[in-house]
Structure formats: structure tokens, C-alpha cells
């Protein structure tokens, strides 16, 4: 029944190039699209369950001290109120998607302002909200804690450090060099759908309807928090209104809803408010980054240094992996890198939209632009000159790379050759500039399972606990199964988002499509073998298309071959030697044209282009959409996105979509995306690499580099808001 496949050797067969149905790669619509746009897709907070009551979370007013609820009894007696819950399990294992850590933040001690420390449950939402707002939270015996990264205690992350050759010497002897410090602020994931959970108990069995990215892990986290066996927990999450990292792990409302539902014996629904999403789920760490680049007279890098400082709460293990792509993006034999984690009492830091590269590649790409200007060569030429033959630190081969083609083809598509000189182009009051940057992101394969059933009527069903967080999972898994089994797209039903189904890799780190897709592929190959056995032909000689099998000069409907039976196979992929034998990464290039207002410093992105290579593209439409989304968030990083923390207590002062400005339609011009043909045999049998996050990994630098081209101003402190631009003009 179970087909296990371990990715130990390159997959050179490229079967998906030859399947007769021809679905994989096509720009097919999402099957879940109509239900989403007509409002009939049921999101986490929309389930209507008999007897359901409502909870509202309560925040800590300060960042240190023992929490007590001063008027708890009075609040518990308010109209409709059913429970006031303060429980140490509330915040166990917050939000990063691991169930192996001891609780760091409990509900009885405050570690940051905005931390969720209690739940008030009432018959209806309005009563719960009123009671929650009436609760007086008191902090006692608080210590004075640091909320400022500049004064916080430093913990060097030794495992991230690189020291190769002699960077100091290379800088000293360089024909050209740059040594620059940039900073990036904290970012919020800001999914459109706030975190929400509805918990229902049936005896000892808990069902949670929630909005999460990685259900296999989330189920373990919830069981772990409650002290029950994971078998007792079912999580249902068929539609997720965006995650961007903030739903990789549980957020506090899930545990709170489960505890309350158990205590009350009724279903409990808890949704975070928008400010709570901003204050208490996850932030990307702010970073300070120093980049040193040394080059010879021809612009060949002789050295590359990247030192970064990030932050998190005391005890939290996550450190924004800023250097992740700096290890392999460019050549240069003298290399020095370090990552420092400072401990402070801002909200928890974790994965947000391409952790590491989104800000790390961005700053490296600014420094490369500074070097190109210093040398006086074209920024594209500088990159082309420094593409490494092999991984510059490990010496391993790249599994595949079309970095060079992305730079060349992107420059061509954008019209880079027409780039104006520094401060050269003006249209009325607007200064026009062009900028570019490279894109890079690591590629990963993760363990994943899926069951595929070929049904007696000749249709198929794909089942896995994989999620679709807006990425297109429903579309691509159906395309893979359809191609492998020779079925039109609408003859394949894809069922996702339920821990009752085979456990998948989940949606994270851009690995979802390749990992869950491979499990579907492996299951389908096993079904093909069984069909071939029935027909007494060799499996490769079986041509499947439109629900019919053609073999040995005859054609027969699958339903006839099945003769009332069904064939069900469980595909199970685990990563193997190919994850270590080579360097696996995706690459690309961004090009942007901006207009900067000469009087105000306001920047408008006029157009932006991205060329990307990420192995086989499984669906040209959903892949393009991922890149558009990444580039849009790149505009956000460049110009508007910044979490603001009060320097006195570290609380988030812009905790809503109005003041934490994600680019909206008016900020985003026509974006163009080119997806280059590529096959990566080392990645998986689909030859596909992850594309979800590639579009953001460096994108902001194309815009700030364009601002420099337009104005001569380098803003080294993101975002490049108009006050910073005008100050330099």
C-alpha cells in the first residue's frame, strides 16, 4: 500500500515532460477559485456549530512581571460571561512550528507588551469583547527589561559563522571595495485572514477548525500544549487566508479555544483581532547588516563579508537566517560572515515571508550596486562576472542554476540597456531611475505523504493534510495526478487540510509544492504499475489519456479496466542524499523603474520585471502569481513596511493595516514575470524547485537601487520613505 521514495539520487527520467494529458506546467485556474471569490469557501472563523460560544483574548499591558487579573470575579459575573481563563498552557510553543521546546512564555508571566495572557468566553462575541475589555490586568514585580536592540545582550550564533581566507587583507589590497551598514525594520506577516480557531470536544477527542500552514506539526503542538496524545487531535483547515509564516505554528487562540471548550463542554470560537495579530503572532526580526565587498580592477570579487545582527525574546531559538544566500550567491575566495542574536522584550521573532533572504539578499544587492557604482561598471555586468562555478564555500556543485540567463533575459525584457545615467532623467517634477537586483533562495525537500485513489468510475481522488495558503496546492496536485493517471483536470478531486488525511510537509519554506507534489507522483507511479500489471504490459508502455489506457495497439477505458475495483496507493517521500550532495537553490533577477518626486522625495514604482528559474514550473499561472506577490512585498519592504515599536516598552504602535502599510493596488504598477525553463534532477522527480518565496528575495533592492540612479541618494535604513530620500537630495 505504501510506496516509499527516498531522494538519494538524481531523478533523470523527466516523465512529466512526456505525459500525454499535458496538464503540468499549463496555466490552469485554481479549482478552489470560484468558491473563494463567491464567498462560499469556509474559512476558520466561519463554521457555524451548534451551541458555539465566543472567546476574546486579553493582552498584557507591559513587558515584565507576574500577571494577575485584579477584577476577575467581577468580570466573570458580567452578562453572558461563561469563563475567564488564565492558564500557563496558553502560549506553549508559540508560533514557530515545533513541539519540542519547553514553554518559554506562559500566561502567568509577561515577557512583552501585547502578549496574550487570558481568554474571556461569553455566550456571544459582543459580551466576550466587553468583558475582555473590562478585565484589569496587573503586572507585579516586573524587572526593567531591554526593548532596544542596540543595548541588548548579544549571543553570537557560532554555527552561522564563516571565516575563509583573509577578508581584511583582501579589503586592504582591493582595487575597489565597499564597506557599508544597512538596517531593515521588523516586518509583520499580515495575512488577510486573522488567526482563528474553533474547538470542539467529543469525549476525549478534540477537533480544531483553524487557519494553519503545517497541520502535522500543528496537531503535535496542540496535543503537546494540552498534554494529550496527538491521536486525540484533529485539525481541519481547508482554506487559509494567507499565512506568510505567521501560521507555521500554533498561535495562542488555538490552545485557548481548546482549553475553554473542554472546561465549558461547548464549542468555543476565538479569533484574534487585527491588532492582536500584529502584537502577538510573529514578527520578522529587525536587522543591522554590514557588508564588505572587495574586487579587483575588473570587478571580480576577491572577498565577501556579511555580518548581521538580529533579535528575539530571551529563550527563543529562532534567529533570522540573514546570511542564508550570501553563502553561495557570489564568488570571492576571502569570506567572513557572522550572525549575532540579541535578546530583547519585543514580541516573538520568527519566520516571515522568506526568512533570511528577504532582507539578507536585499542588503547584499544594495552593496553590489554600491560596488558597481564605485567601479564604474554596469550592475548586471558585475553580477555576471561573479556567478560562482560551484558553491564558493563548500565547493559543491549547484543542482541547477539559470542565474546567468535570468540576469541576461531579465535585462533584455526590461530594456535595461536604456538605463539613464546617474540623476540623468527627469520628467517634469519626477526624477526617473532604473535599478536591478539578483534573487536567490535555498531549495528544500521535506517528508510528505499523500494517498491517491483511482476510483471505479475512472476518476481519481488525492488526499493529504497539505494546506493551500493561497499558493495553488489544489491546482498543482490535481495537475500532477491528472498527468500521471491520464485524467482531465476535472476528473481529479483534491482533498486537503485535514489531519485525518496522510501527513504532508505543510506549506512553509517554499517546499510545499515539490514535497507534497512528489508524494502524489510516487503514489500515481504505483497505481500505473498496478494498472500495467493488470493489463500485462510494461508500465512505461502504458499511455494514459482522457481516462483511457492505450497499450499494445488497443485502447480501453480505465473504468473498464478497473471493473468495479479501486486502486489506492499511499505515496511517501523523504529527503535523502541529494539534499546534501549538491547546493540546491533558485535564482532570478529583478528590474525596476521608479519615479522620485523632486520636491517631496516620494517614490512611485512605475514598472518592475522579474525573471526567475525554479526548476519545472508546475502551473504557469499560480507560479507567476507567487512571483507577483513576492515582488509586491518587495515594494513593501522598499518603501512602506515597518513595524514601529515604542522605545519605552517595546509595544507595537502601528498594529493595523492602515498604519503598517502593505502595498495596495495604487502602489503596485504592472509587474511582469518571466519563468525560465529549467529541470532540477537533484531536487525531486518532478524536477521542480520551490518558487513561493523567490519573488521577494532581493526585490526591494531593485527599487532602492533605482532611487539611487534617479537621485544619487542611498537610503541605507529601510524603508526608503520620502523623509529619508528628501534628506539626501
Q: How far apart are CA 722 and CA 17, in angstroms?
A: 49
The residue number with the shortest CB distance to ligand MOS is 245
Which range in 125-133, 191-199, 255-263, 351-359 contacts ligand MOS by CB under 6 A? 351-359
Considering the rule CB under 6 A, would residue 191 count as an interface residue with ligand MOS?
no
**Those residues with Cβ within 8 angstroms of residue 503's Cβ, 6 or more apart along the chain or in another chain:** 215, 216, 448, 449, 464, 465
Q: Is the dihedral of CA 627, 632, 637, 641 positive or negative?
A: negative
Residues 487 and 462 sit within 8 Å (Cβ to Cβ): no
CB nearer to ligand MOS: give 85 or 691: 691
Query: Is 693 an active-site residue?
Result: yes
Residues 20 and 486 sit within 8 Å (Cβ to Cβ): yes
**Those residues with Cβ within 8 angstroms of residue 444's Cβ, 6 or more apart along the chain or in another chain:** 509, 510, 511, 575, 579, 584, 690
The nearest distance, CB 449 to ligand MOS, in angstroms, is 20
CB nearer to ligand MOS: give 267 or 350: 350
What would you report as the CA-atom Rg of the chain, rounded to the nearest whole angstrom?
A: 26
CB nearer to ligand MOS: give 185 or 355: 355
CB nearer to ligand MOS: give 352 or 480: 352
User: What residues from 123 to 162 belong to the interface with ligand MOS (CB under 6 A)?
Assistant: none
DSSP E strands: which ranges in 428-480?
430-442, 448-454, 460-463
The nearest distance, CB 106 to ligand MOS, in angstroms, is 26
Which range in 26-34, 346-354, 484-492, 565-573 contacts ligand MOS by CB under 6 A? 346-354
Burial of 355 (0-12, 13-18, 19+ CB in 10 A): buried
CB nearer to ligand MOS: give 375 or 694: 694
The nearest distance, CB 509 to ligand MOS, in angstroms, is 4
Q: How far apart are CA 200 and CA 269, in angstroms?
A: 9
CB nearer to ligand MOS: give 62 or 94: 94
The nearest distance, CB 458 to ligand MOS, in angstroms, is 37
CB nearer to ligand MOS: give 322 or 594: 322
Considering the rule CB under 6 A, would residue 352 count as an interface residue with ligand MOS?
yes
* Phi, psi for 629 (deg, rounded to 5): -65, -45
The nearest distance, CB 442 to ligand MOS, in angstroms, is 11
User: What residues from 493 to 532 belong to the interface with ligand MOS (CB under 6 A)?
Assistant: 508-509
Which range in 88-96, 350-358, 474-482, 720-728 contacts ligand MOS by CB under 6 A? 350-358
The nearest distance, CB 561 to ligand MOS, in angstroms, is 41
Instruction: Sheet containing 492-495: give its strands across.
Output: 2-7, 567-575, 448-454, 460-463, 492-495
Q: Of 486, 500, 425, 417, which is closest to residue 454 (Cα–Cα)?
A: 486
Q: How far apart are CA 445 and CA 577, in angstroms?
A: 11
> Hey, what's the cell of 504?
504532508
**Those residues with Cβ within 8 angstroms of residue 329's Cβ, 6 or more apart along the chain or in another chain:** 361, 364, 388, 438, 440
Q: In this chain, which of 15, 353, 441, 616 binds ligand MOS, going by CB under 6 A?
A: 353
Considering the rule CB under 6 A, would residue 441 count as an interface residue with ligand MOS?
no
Considering the rule CB under 6 A, would residue 472 count as an interface residue with ligand MOS?
no
> Hey, what's the cell of 727?
534628506
Considering the rule CB under 6 A, would residue 351 count as an interface residue with ligand MOS?
yes
Q: How far is CA 640 from the centre of its chain?
A: 19
Considering the rule CB under 6 A, would residue 615 count as an interface residue with ligand MOS?
no
The nearest distance, CB 507 to ligand MOS, in angstroms, is 6
The nearest distance, CB 717 to ligand MOS, in angstroms, is 23
Q: How far apart are CA 72 and CA 66, in angstroms?
A: 15
Size of the site for ligand MOS (CB under 6 A): 11
Bridge partner residues of 613 (DSSP):
587
Considering the rule CB under 6 A, would residue 392 count as an interface residue with ligand MOS?
no
User: What residues from 216 to 245 belong to the interface with ligand MOS (CB under 6 A)?
Assistant: 243-245
CB nearer to ligand MOS: give 633 or 682: 633
List contacts with ligand MOS (CB under 6 A): 213, 243-245, 248, 351-353, 355, 508-509
Q: Which residues does the annotation mark as catalytic?
A: 693
Amino acid at each position: 500500500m505504501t510506496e516509499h521514495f527516498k531522494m538519494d539520487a538524481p531523478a533523470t527520467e523527466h516523465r512529466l515532460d512526456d505525459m500525454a494529458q499535458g496538464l503540468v506546467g499549463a496555466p490552469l485556474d485554481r479549482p478552489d477559485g470560484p468558491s473563494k471569490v463567491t464567498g462560499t469557501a469556509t474559512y476558520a472563523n466561519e463554521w457555524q456549530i451548534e451551541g458555539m460560544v465566543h472567546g476574546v483574548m486579553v493582552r498584557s499591558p507591559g513587558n515584565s512581571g507576574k500577571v494577575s487579573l485584579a477584577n476577575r470575579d467581577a468580570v466573570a459575573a458580567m452578562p453572558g460571561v461563561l469563563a475567564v481563563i488564565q492558564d500557563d498552557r496558553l502560549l506553549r510553543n508559540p508560533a514557530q512550528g515545533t513541539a519540542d521546546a519547553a514553554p518559554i512564555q506562559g500566561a502567568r508571566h509577561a515577557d512583552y507588551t501585547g502578549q496574550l495572557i487570558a481568554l474571556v468566553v461569553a455566550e456571544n462575541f459582543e459580551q466576550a469583547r466587553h468583558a475582555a475589555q473590562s478585565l484589569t490586568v496587573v503586572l507585579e514585580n516586573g524587572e526593567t527589561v531591554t526593548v532596544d536592540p542596540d543595548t541588548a545582550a548579544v549571543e553570537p550564533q557560532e554555527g552561522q559563522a564563516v571565516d575563509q581566507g583573509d577578508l581584511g587583507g583582501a579589503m586592504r589590497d582591493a582595487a575597489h571595495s565597499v564597506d557599508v551598514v544597512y538596517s531593515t525594520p521588523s516586518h509583520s506577516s499580515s495575512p488577510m485572514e486573522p488567526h482563528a480557531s474553533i474547538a470542539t470536544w467529543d469525549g476525549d477527542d478534540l477537533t480544531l477548525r483553524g487557519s494553519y500552514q503545517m497541520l502535522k506539526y500543528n496537531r503535535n503542538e496542540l496535543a503537546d500544549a494540552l498534554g494529550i496524545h496527538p491521536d486525540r487531535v484533529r485539525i481541519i483547515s481547508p482554506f487559509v487566508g494567507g499565512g506568510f509564516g505567521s501560521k507555521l505554528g500554533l498561535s495562542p487562540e488555538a490552545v485557548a479555544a481548546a482549553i475553554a471548550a473542554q472546561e465549558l463542554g461547548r464549542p468555543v470560537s476565538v479569533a484574534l483581532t487585527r491588532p492582536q495579530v500584529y502584537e502577538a503572532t510573529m514578527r520578522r526580526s529587525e536587522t543591522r547588516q554590514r557588508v564588505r565587498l572587495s574586487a579587483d580592477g575588473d570587478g571580480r570579487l576577491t572577498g565577501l563579508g556579511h555580518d548581521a545582527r538580529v533579535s528575539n525574546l530571551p529563550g527563543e531559538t529562532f534567529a533570522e537566517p540573514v546570511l542564508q544566500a550570501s553563502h553561495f550567491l557570489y564568488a570571492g575566495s576571502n569570506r567572513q560572515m557572522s550572525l549575532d542574536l540579541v535578546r530583547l522584550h519585543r514580541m516573538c521573532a520568527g519566520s516571515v515571508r522568506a526568512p533570511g533572504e528577504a532582507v539578507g539578499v536585499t542588503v547584499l544587492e544594495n552593496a553590489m550596486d554600491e560596488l558597481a557604482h564605485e567601479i564604474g561598471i554596469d550592475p548586471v555586468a558585475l553580477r555576471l562576472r561573479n556567478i560562482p562555478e560551484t558553491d564558493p564555500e563548500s565547493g559543491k556543485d549547484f543542482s541547477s542554476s539559470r542565474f546567468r540567463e535570468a540576469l541576461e533575459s531579465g535585462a533584455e525584457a526590461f530594456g535595461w540597456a536604456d538605463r539613464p545615467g546617474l540623476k540623468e532623467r527627469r520628467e517634469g517634477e519626477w526624477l526617473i531611475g532604473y535599478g536591478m537586483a539578483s534573487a536567490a533562495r535555498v531549495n528544500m525537500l521535506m517528508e510528505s505523504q499523500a494517498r491517491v485513489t483511482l476510483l471505479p468510475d475512472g476518476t481519481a481522488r488525492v488526499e493529504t493534510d497539505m494546506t493551500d495558503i493561497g499558493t495553488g496546492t489544489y491546482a498543482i496536485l490535481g495537475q500532477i495526478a491528472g498527468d500521471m493517471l491520464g485524467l482531465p483536470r476535472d476528473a481529479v478531486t483534491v482533498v486537503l487540510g485535514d489531519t485525518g488525511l496522510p501527513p504532508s510537509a505543510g506549506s512553509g519554506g517554499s517546499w510545499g509544492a515539490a514535497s507534497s507534489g512528489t508524494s502524489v507522483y510516487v503514489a500515481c507511479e504505483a497505481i500505473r504499475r498496478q494498472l500495467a500489471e493488470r493489463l500485462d504490459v510494461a508500465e512505461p508502455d502504458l499511455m494514459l489519456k482522457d481516462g483511457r489506457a492505450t497499450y499494445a495497439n488497443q485502447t480501453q477505458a480505465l473504468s473498464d479496466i478497473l471493473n468495479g475495483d479501486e486502486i489506492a496507493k499511499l505515496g511517501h517521500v523523504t529527503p535523502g542524499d541529494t539534499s546534501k550532495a549538491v547546493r540546491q537553490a533558485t535564482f532570478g533577477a529583478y528590474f525596476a523603474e521608479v519615479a522620485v518626486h523632486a520636491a517631496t522625495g516620494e517614490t512611485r514604482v512605475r514598472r518592475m520585471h522579474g525573471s526567475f528559474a525554479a526548476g519545472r514550473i508546475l502551473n504557469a499561472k499560480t507560479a507567476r502569481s507567487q512571483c507577483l506577490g513576492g515582488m509586491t512585498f518587495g515594494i513593501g519592504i522598499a518603501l512602506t513596511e515597518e513595524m514601529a515599536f515604542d522605545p519605552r516598552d517595546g509595544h507595537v504602535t502601528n498594529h493595523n493595516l492602515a498604519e503598517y502599510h502593505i502595498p495596495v493596488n495604487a502602489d503596485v504598477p504592472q509587474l511582469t514575470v518571466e519563468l525560465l525553463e529549467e529541470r532540477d534532477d537533484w531536487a525531486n522527480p518532478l524536477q521542480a524547485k520551490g518558487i513561493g518565496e523567490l519573488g521577494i528575495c532581493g526585490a526591494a533592492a531593485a527599487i532602492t537601487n533605482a532611487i539611487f540612479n534617479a537621485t544619487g541618494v542611498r537610503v541605507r535604513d529601510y524603508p526608503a520613505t520620502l523623509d529619508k530620500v528628501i534628506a539626501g537630495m
